[in-house]
Amino acid sequence: MSEIVNPTRPSRRRRIAAAIAAAIVGLVAGGGLLAFGIVSAIRQFPAPTAQFAAGMPASVSLDRSGEWVVYADGSDVAPSRNECRIATAEGTSVPVTTPGARVETTRGGHNWVRVATFTVESAGSYTVECTGTDGASLFAVGDPPQIGRFVAWLVGSILGMLVLTAAGIGTGIWIAVSGRRRGAAVPGPVSGYTSPVQPGR
């Protein structure tokens, strides 16, 4: 039996190059998505906006109502060993809560640890004074961390990276395998075969 080679089959080198390219695209896209997700996750821990020394009353301007966080600078800081007092411009005390879970972030060379939270009813100027028994000498006020969004960004970026990477590698494998199948030889007519003449024709 003779064989007819498919003239449209891609060369082996082209198949390999296309497969590698698809895998690389998947890896690069997955890595890019992971990097973007990590950056976005970190942004859910905003940097404190107003810093002040321990034991010194500081006037802090808050631009919105709602929840705010007091941070202390230090790696060994514990929320339970720090005390903060907050008052409005008129001298009215603002309730302060000590958080149970430890939350910390690094910004500008400082290791900020959440030591207190408080809620204000309106924007304005507030007096904040904090003292600690664990050596914290610098405090700051800032927006609360968005822990739920942080987890969502981190998990989503990791899953997205895995999906894109797997898709790129899978596409590369498919290109290599399908190209090999298209390049397989196809059967042709039997050499030397003559169709018999039918009687009466």
* DSSP-H helix ranges across the chain: 12-42, 147-182
Domain residues of the chain, as ranges?
A: 3-41+157-184, 50-145
Q: What percent of the chain has pLDDT over 90?
A: 18
Give pLDDT tens digits for 47-70.
Answer: 678 889 988 899 999 989 998 999
* SS3 of residue 66 by DSSP: strand
* Residue 125: per-residue pLDDT: 93
Pick the more confident residue, 6 or 103.
103
* Residue 185: per-residue pLDDT: 46
In whole angstroms, what is the distance from residue 59 CA to residue 125 CA?
A: 6
In whole angstroms, what is the distance from residue 93 CA to residue 117 CA?
A: 14
Considering only the C-alpha atoms of the chain, give the largest distance between any 2 of them, rounded to a whole number of Å: 121
Pick the more confident residue, 20 or 39.
20
* SS3 of residue 35 by DSSP: helix
Quickly state the pLDDT bin for 200 (edges 50, 70, 90): low
Return the structure tokens found at 86.
């907050």
* Residue 22: per-residue pLDDT: 72
Residues sharing a CB contact under 8 Å with residue 94, sequence separation 6 or more, in sequence order: 86, 87, 88, 118, 119, 120, 126
Which one-letter amino acid corresponds to residue 144? P
- Asked whether the predicted pLDDT for residue 95 surpasses 50, the reply is yes
Residues sharing a CB contact under 8 Å with residue 74, sequence separation 6 or more, in sequence order: 111, 113, 134, 135, 136
CB 62 within 8 A of CB 128: no
Measured over the CA atoms of residue 173, residue 184, residue 8 and residue 13, the dihedral's sign is positive
* SS3 of residue 184 by DSSP: coil
Q: Could you give phi then psi for residue 67, rounded to 5 degrees?
A: -85, 140
Pick the more confident residue, 108 or 10.
108
Question: Could you tell me which residues are beta bridge partners of residue 60?
Answer: 126
Mean pLDDT (the chain, rounded): 74
Measured from the Cβ of residue 157, the count of other Cβ atoms closer than 10 Å reads 21
Helices (H) and strands (E) in the chain, counts: 2, 12
